Structure 1
């Protein structure tokens, strides 16, 4: 085509109306393709692993869950990932507990006819799950088999138990000798029972229990043991009634004749009036010793309080604060420094100049 013909074609092309012009940008270099991971993890297989009334073994998983949607019931436990498993062989039960109405429980009944939950104030049904071992060698191995930690600690534990038993027996023998002088009409069998009872009462007293509560606790435990022996057939009903009545008459005789001092030694029983009279005599003695001055007087006061076996630790603190180190009045002199001390009379903390 010549120059003239191309110019005319260009003019014709400019006269045409082609609409809006769209700019298209093309890639100038190759781009690496991206790969997204569209995979998903496998399911965790959550949910119940045993149905209602299904027999299970010890350690068998009952439920896998996220969170505690179900709680472990009787003969079941829960792991750190909220997995509930059986702790006894038996039959699975899904149930509700009226004491926890907002919780659902999974438990294991020890026999097919049992239903859960067990009534709240009734004893739980227990089963060891053991079978007798007929082979003597295997039986001896099972009896001696211990974990390494228990095996290493066994000599120490046995030694401590023997020492405790020896100390307890020494206290019982000491109480027997003291009872012979305080209550001489007791027989040898009654002395043994009374000394054992007083040893148990002393243990409760050392734990901070009052004397009447300690005596009542030891009495109820002994009577309950007699009742269990009767139920097991170890003693006949006639022997149970005789032992029960003899024990009640014995403790009535002993408790009305024997008491404890503040060092847990046996003393003759004192009525509240007689004890108050002895306290008045002690306070009069302390009052006479306060007339002296100096360190010797305070040493004598402290010695008298330490030697007295009649007063309780609380009464000793009160008398010590009253006579040995009496509280000064709050308006005593000019205050250089202020401290806080316990006022035994008013039972409160007060500032002391």
Structure 2
């Protein structure tokens, strides 16, 4: 792999070479608004080489680049010592880039633009999307389940009455198909409505007891080829919650991981890690908590398919044949009933489900 092309030592911008060592993204812009220098951090953030950047106008890098360009113009006019502003820079075909920008004049003809990725804003936006998605899922599930349930009872009842009237017993095979399929759909509807029907039974919960229960259940189903490792923080306090709901939530995630690891289980090197930590100063649903349970369920499987990665908590979305697509939906619902949230990061070889729940 070749090194990116940097300004030559005799370049007038060689004096900025020291900025190459900074983790902060830095661009030097001239009076015409053209990028003349970019450090490696800027190349990484913008996903553009310095060679390509140096040929472009700063405003042209983003769909709404006029906002950043206006700050540069003000800096060149020496209206302020530096200008600081949070921006959501729009990029064609990609997620907006949330940054904290610092624009400072470096003489009469140049401006230094610092771009610091606003990780907290990204997290809040992602969390808000998950919460909105979950609320929409709840409404959809309730409405859809009730719309299915009412006519389903009529279909089943009609099939039973028809069966009694059939003169030929061999024809009852067809009514039995109707009755059995109606019962299967009824079971699916009941599972969809389960989190909203079952009362929230609150008691003292030790998260490690939850993890150990799940671990024993999954290892009983996969006794060979799968290792479930413990990485516990014994200092995590008990908290008030519904133990059975949390067992079900963690079990759904761990069981999904085990199913995804079938190929590695056959090879004998499948691994799931249950890691517990305490997270401090966590924001969940726009509420700040001093302490939160930080439970990670990590596997070394193939990862979640990119085409469903953003939809895994939707009902009836499954990454494997024969899956109901309800396990993660129910897990997210149960955790949210504890004021918490489930997040997921996945790539080939590592999938990490993170459960955050406020602690007292």
TM-score by shorter chain over 0.5: no
Structure with a larger share of its residues in strand:
2
The structure whose Rg is larger is 1
TM-score, normalised with respect to structure 2: 0.23
TM-score, normalised with respect to structure 1: 0.23
Query: More relative contact order in 1 or in 2 (CA 8 Å, sep 6+)?
Result: 2
